[in-house]
Amino acid sequence: MISKLAFRRLRGSALLIVLVVVMIVSLGAYTFSELMLTHNETANLSTQSMQAKWLVDAGIDVARIHLLQPHDQRMASGGDYDNPNVFQAINVLTDPNPELTGNFTIIAPGQDSDGFTAGYRYGLEDESSRLNLNALVVADTYSTNGGREMLMALPGMTVDIADAIMDWIDDDDETREFGAEFDYYQSLGSPYEPNNGPFNTVEEILLVRGVTPEMLFGADINRNGMIDQHELPAQQKIQELVSLASATNGTDTLNTGSLDRGWSAYLTLYSKENNLNVNGEPRIDLNSSDLQTLHQDLAAVFDPAVANFIILYRQGYPVFEQGDNQTDGLPQPASAVEIDFLLEPEREITQVLELVGKQLLWEPDLIDDEPIDIMPAYPMDLSLATTLDRLMDNASTNSNPTIPGRLNINQAPRLLLQGVPGLSDDMIDFIIQTRSVDPYQDQQNYYRHETWLLKQAGLSFLLGNAPFTLDDMKALQPFICGGGSVFRAQIIGYYEGGTASARGEVVLDATTVTPRILLWRDLSHLGRGYPLDVLGLHYAGSGQTALPAIQ
């Protein structure tokens, strides 16, 4: 038999075992509970991360719908450039809990009054404010080494790299003065061939001799347009590279800007403009071969004198400078002449400004009739300020639906303007000080065309002491424009609690009936990039009501 003492000891051991088992079970239950909570948080975070990408997609759709509207409607809603009502903190996921409130913001780099990149704004970036790499070969046709000159505006650029870039995109194997062609790339350890054609991506420039990732991407690692604390070491290293390039190149390239954002912030492959008037209608092709139809189209938009003048000009009648009369009689408007549409066109118009300040000598078919001096359709006087916009808006020298590659002088940063052939420092200062960066502030469309430079010069232009002459404008026109029709958007989808975010970049082509995506890339790996208060919050505190969600 078990003694009472042994029984008591056995009962005590059982109690101890029970306590241990209860403790183990409790710890197991607690661990299981913690594990389930962790899995729940992971599932919620995964869901929010996925939904954050959908918030970016919502931002893309909003940008496309915005660009789908006619120009006047877009301006009436606040425009494209800086429009917080349309592009900042747009609520998509509404929830009483701020941690579950999902928004998107479309953000772009801003500019200071001197034309340098500074700060940020809520809107789209006109792709024509960037340098189009694939248009550089065309620049060579208008100016000797025009492509090289435009590239040399980039900070840290050297003439060796500029010529190598030009050799990469031209269609021959002839090496430029400081360039590199097939022979160089074949001599490398891992040989390859230059493209000898347009770039397929901006990043392809890394294949060009001398181009480094530091030059292309800069110190702004997270691409938020500013140098954060963790990017300071990269900034210092890149400044050393720029200084070295300055010494090698013999010029102080630091004066044109820094490489903080890299060349990728200033380069594009997509810029182009709609060849349409302000109402979205195709412009009249002044070089149409059917002169009778051309005259009908012109007469529907312009005065009869203008329509007749353009037809006579196309028919090859002698052209003279304004005031250089060829007869003793008084000059007559072109509307006084009856057009003979049986005469074939003998002259093409290379650019619209070719018509300004020109007059014609009309020579009749009948021997008894006297020649007549035809008055200019667009005389060099103060009336030009009111007639030039109508000409630029409704006339073109071709029927192509778009015009590619020109630089938007209203929004391009100073350093890119410095590369435009023919633009002096005084001219650039005039542009920076006078232009309207935000089209929303230009409700009268004064700056819609690049020829606002002539209008702004006004009487000084006629007196010959303006910063721009007509000849200057003619030389600049192949390189510059007043605005483009392709836009870039950086879109950040985020939760106000800061738990999850996604980030994307998209290039939208608004030259088509429905704006289409030319480029899409996921930037989520670079992080949110901006503080929540910059992106925008609907809840300042737990008791504040959220703003209406997007419909």
The answer, as to whether pTM is greater than 0.85, is: yes
Position 22 in a domain: no
198 shares a domain with 118 = no
Alpha carbon distances (Å) from 84 to 88, 101, 121, 410: 5, 18, 8, 21
Position 16 in a domain: no
DSSP character string of 47-101: HHHHHHHHHHHHHHHHHHHHHHS-HHHHHHTT-SSS-HHHHSSEEEE--SSGGG-
- Domain boundary among the residues 241, 270, 299 is at 270
220 shares a domain with 144 = yes
pLDDT one-digit tens code per residue, 344-392: 999 999 999 999 999 999 988 766 678 899 999 998 887 887 899 999 9
117 shares a domain with 147 = no
487 shares a domain with 539 = yes
519 shares a domain with 453 = yes
CATH code for the domain in which residue 246 is found: 1.10.40.60
142 shares a domain with 119 = no
Give me the residues paired with residue 276 across strands: 282
The tally of CA atoms less than 13 A away on the side-chain side of residue 298 is 26
Instruction: Say which residue, 396 or 230, is predicted with more confidence.
Output: 396
Position 432 in a domain: yes
Position 1 in a domain: no
Position 194 in a domain: yes
338 shares a domain with 311 = yes
- Rounded CA-CA distance 165/198 in Å is 11
pLDDT of residue 551: 42
Residue 545: strand, helix, or coil: coil
- Domain boundary among the residues 396, 428, 451 is at 396
- Rounded CA-CA distance 111/114 in Å is 8
99 shares a domain with 232 = no
Instruction: Provide the number of structural domains found in the chain.
Output: 3
Domain ranges, residue 382: 284-396
Nearest to 444 by CA among 393, 406, 397: 393
Per DSSP, 509 falls in state E
User: For residue 196, how far is the Cα from the chain centroid?
Assistant: 25
- Domain boundary among the residues 396, 420, 446 is at 396
- Rounded CA-CA distance 182/477 in Å is 34
115 has pLDDT over 80: yes
The tally of CA atoms less than 13 A away on the side-chain side of residue 184 is 16
Position 19 in a domain: no
151 shares a domain with 252 = yes
319 shares a domain with 254 = no
Structure-block tokens of residue 51? 């939904």
Q: How confident is the model at residue 458 (pLDDT cuts 50, 70, 90)?
A: low
- Rounded CA-CA distance 418/432 in Å is 11
pLDDT of residue 546: 44
Position 401 in a domain: no
253 shares a domain with 136 = yes
Percent of the chain with pLDDT over 90: 61
Alpha carbon distances (Å) from 282 to 398, 451, 511: 11, 19, 12
76 shares a domain with 151 = no
pLDDT one-digit tens code per residue, 287-331: 999 999 999 999 999 999 999 999 999 999 999 998 888 888 889
Sign of the alpha-carbon torsion through 135, 138, 142, 148: positive
Position 6 in a domain: no
